[in-house]
Structure 1
Amino acid sequence: MARLFFASFILFPFYAFAQEPEKPEPIEADRPDQTETPAIVPKGMFQAETGFVYEKANSDEESFVTPTVLWKYGVNENFELRLITELETQKNPQTTTTGLAPVKVGFKAKLLEENGIIPKTSIIAHLQLPDLASKEFKAEHYAALFRFTMQHTLSDDFSLGYNLGAEWDGNVPDATFIYTLTAGYSISEKLGCYAEVFGFAPEESTTYHSADGGFTYLISNDFMIDASAGVGLTELAPDYYISLGCSFRL
């Protein structure tokens, strides 16, 4: 009996260690680039992605988002729930307007795992709620937004991501089609960077394109900070924007 007790005492730490749940992979966020990731928040975890954005639309108009927050919850390994809230300020020579932009609720669902030339793929869909907004920013109708998110792993350090989708603003019936293409590079285990082009194609207007780039830094597996900036490439695109933010999960 004494021998059995002694053996159990020696082996228990190794058994307990083996039974510990695996820690999740480092956090993956949909910010700071315009390309959303196909990654799903781990089951049972809550994730928040927040940032501050300044955009110069043209010589007369500018806007601040202070902050934008994407709230996410992992339902299971294939599905997450999402909520987007934005406090926005729009300025022009005549007026300054501040308020809550229409809240968006939605989900992300995994569709495909990466397999050769087949990219890792998910779908993101949101519904814009016109009544959950400040009166200055209320839309007339409910509006849908969706995009397919795809990603290729090119090497241990390089990845290629792209999105295709469409969105409505709740005020006009015409859709705006969207595309994004980003290349990401891991400088180290904690520091990453990216370069990206993206554009919007309204049904009744001219398509416009922009480019941006930025950095991410992993403080821990559950906390990341980021910085990014972009410029317009065509006449109708905003002149430029800058953004700072962070993402964390619990």
Structure 2
Amino acid sequence: MHLTFALLAMCFVDGVVHAATSRDEAGASAAAVPSEPPNGPQREGDPVAATPAARDGLTDDAHAVEAVDTDAHTAREPLVSDRPDFTESTSVVSPGRYQWEGGYTFTRDSENGRRSRDHTLAELLLRTGVTPGVELRFGWAGASFTTLSYPDRSDAGRRVHQRDHEDGWTDMTIGFKAHLAEQRGWRPELAVIGALALPTGSISKSSGDVDPEVKWLWSYAIDDRLSIGGNLNIAVPTGARGRFAQASASLAIGYSVCEHLGVYAEYFGFYPGERGEDCAHTVNGGFAVPVTDDLQLDLRIGVGLNEQADDFFAGVGFAVRF
């Protein structure tokens, strides 16, 4: 509750400051800019070549200013992470830049009398741009600490609850993301991810084989604050009963409450959740707080909609850009 009030207060103060700054800038611009340029009014659509600077060619100073403006634009690019939701974004990291994402998730589930509690710590994803529109991705969920509790009978025939621990390291993934198309008209922004999960984890956590996956990503900005997006994925994972084909999909709605707070709600599902079992359906929501231009903090909470999905999960995380 205190966190909610703090975030709302932050948005209110941000709005007041933004409005005051806009009024000051508008007044200063009106006082400093003449009603017409020295060479007469510039009509909309007039070619830049009509100005003296364009006719004579850009000077070295003009090129320097242009370069500075380009660098400033790159620095002002918004930080877009692939967390905390399940849906991967269509944005890619710019060439020469690095983005670290990570966090922690607690998961609880109960099925057929068996209860599990899991703590996953690290959830690391390193993204780096290699060319405009293409990034490399290195992922690792990190350490997983699982406690299993289930009913059993003692040697004397009494009902007891047994408890086991399955702790270990998870598999690593390598892959890429390629931006395919910008949003235009009714067409959403498009991208694709290709990835391989490598059997680098502990015996209790690793699939034991190389597992490929392809994700088709889309997003659509409805206005400056509201956007929707989703993924259509196909993977061939190795489960407890062997390798199988698994489709998955997601749909997320994001809303920018203010400059320092974005919230989302999302559905995602796996079809099926495991070989020979039912599909798993989950809903979740959360928020992201941009602390600086290159640092974001996030929180998420989700619940399963059927027996196959995890009953509950919650997590926190970060994204930082260099």
Tell me whether 1:168 sits opposite 2:236 in the alignment: yes
Give the corresponding residue for 1:180: 250
The answer to whether the Cα contact below 8 Å between 2:238 and 2:244 also exists between their aligned partners in 1 is no
Q: Distance in 2 between matches of 1:13 and 1:78?
A: 30
Question: Which blocks of at least 5 consecutive residues in structure 2 are unaligned?
Answer: 1-59, 150-162
* CA-CA distance at 1:17 after TM superposition: 4.8
Tell me whether 1:28 sits opposite 2:80 in the alignment: yes
Q: Distance in 2 between matches of 1:19 and 1:110?
A: 25
Give the corresponding residue for 2:28: none
Match of 2:266 among 196, 207, 229: 196
SS in 2 for 1:81: strand
Q: Distance in 2 between matches of 1:169 and 1:70?
A: 20
Q: Distance in 2 between matches of 1:153 and 1:60?
A: 41
1:120-176 CA distance string (max 9 Å, x none)? 11111110111x212332323211122111000100100000101122333422122
Report the AA paired with residue 78 of structure 1. G
User: Alpha carbons of 1:215 and 1:104: their partners in 2 closer, same or farther (altered >3 Å)?
Assistant: same
Q: What pairs up with 1:169-248 in 2 under 5 angstroms? A: 169-171=237-239, 172-202=242-272, 204-248=276-320
Query: How many residues are treated as equivalent by the alignment?
Result: 239
Report the AA paired with residue 126 of structure 2. W
Give the corresponding residue for 1:74: 129
Report the AA paired with residue 36 of structure 1. E
Give the corresponding residue for 1:89: 145
The answer to whether the Cα contact below 8 Å between 1:151 and 1:159 also exists between their aligned partners in 2 is yes
Q: What pairs up with 1:129-140 in 2 under 5 angstroms? A: 129-130=198-199, 132-140=200-208
The answer to whether the Cα contact below 8 Å between 2:103 and 2:124 also exists between their aligned partners in 1 is yes
Q: Distance in 2 between matches of 1:237 and 1:29?
A: 25
User: Alpha carbons of 1:96 and 1:105: their partners in 2 closer, same or farther (altered >3 Å)?
Assistant: same
Q: Distance in 2 between matches of 1:213 and 1:127?
A: 27
Tell me whether 1:154 sits opposite 2:222 in the alignment: yes
Match of 1:62 among 114, 117, 129: 117
Identity over aligned residues, as a percent? 29
Question: Which blocks of at least 5 consecutive residues in structure 1 are unaligned?
Answer: 1-11
Q: Which runs of 4+ in 1 moved over 4 A?
A: 12-18
Q: Give the number of the structure whose residues are more often strand, by fraction.
A: 1
* CA-CA distance at 1:62 after TM superposition: 1.7
Q: Distance in 2 between matches of 1:147 and 1:15?
A: 41
SS in 2 for 1:116: coil
The answer to whether the Cα contact below 8 Å between 1:74 and 1:80 also exists between their aligned partners in 2 is yes
User: Alpha carbons of 1:18 and 1:109: their partners in 2 closer, same or farther (altered >3 Å)?
Assistant: closer
The answer to whether the Cα contact below 8 Å between 1:108 and 1:124 also exists between their aligned partners in 2 is yes
Give the corresponding residue for 1:8: none
1:22-71 CA distance string (max 9 Å, x none)? 32411000100111101001111110110100010226112111121111
Q: Distance in 2 between matches of 1:234 and 1:49?
A: 29
Report the AA paired with residue 155 of structure 1. D
The answer to whether the Cα contact below 8 Å between 1:174 and 1:204 also exists between their aligned partners in 2 is no
The answer to whether the Cα contact below 8 Å between 1:75 and 1:81 also exists between their aligned partners in 2 is yes
Q: Distance in 2 between matches of 1:235 and 1:139?
A: 23
